[in-house]
Amino acid sequence: MLSKKTQYAFKALEYLATQYGKGPVKIADISKNQKIPLKFLENILVELKNAGMLESKKGKGGGYILRIAPKNINLANVIRIINGPIALLPCVSLNFYEKCIDCDEATCGMRKMMIIARDATLRVLEKKTMADMINNEVDILM
């Protein structure tokens, strides 16, 4: 399951996506509109900024802006920045790989299954974007 922090991140990005092209958005505005605890939100936005997804401006008229167009921000990236691995096992993660103890990766059955599961999940999360999330169109095909 995604942490609450990650859900907040998505909500914040949703709001920034709706304001895309309209200049900087203050943390306080995001906090108020999306009902996210302000100080907690600060941490989240800094992380997204450090990951290159947001740009910030200090002082009056400042705030946060998306550095990438909503249609180019895929959901997998957001999850990886805030939540961590998407795979179900560390030894199967593409971005957070860790060797598993006592397991021959070449023959491990569990590993094989989890690779298949990972790929199925990623096909969705890497295809869907923040634009898909704010456009309320129903996707008939997948």
Partner DNA sequence: GAATATCCTACAAAATTGGTAGGAATTAAT
Partner DNA sequence: ATTAATTCCTACCAATTTTGTAGGATATTC
Cα separation values, 138 from 2, 13, 69, 87, 133, Å = 23, 20, 21, 27, 10
Q: Residue 134: which of a second copy, DNA, none does it interact with, CB under 5 to 8 A by kind? A: a second copy
Residue 29 contacts residue 62 (beta carbons within 8 Å): no
Q: Residue 52: which of DNA, a second copy, none does it interact with, CB under 5 to 8 A by kind? A: none
Kindly state the smallest distance separating residue 89's Cβ from DNA, in Å: 12
Kindly state the smallest distance separating residue 17's Cβ from a second copy, in Å: 10
Question: Based on C-alpha coordinates, what's the Rg of the chain?
Answer: 17
Residue 27 contacts residue 63 (beta carbons within 8 Å): yes
- Nearer of residues 56 and 94 to a second copy, judged by Cβ: 94
22 binds DNA (CB under 7 A): no
Helix (H, G, I), strand (E, B) or coil at 12: helix
Q: Using CB under 7 A as the criterion, which residues of the chain lie in contact with DNA when the complex forms?
A: 3-5, 26-28, 37-40, 42-43, 45-46, 49, 56-64, 84
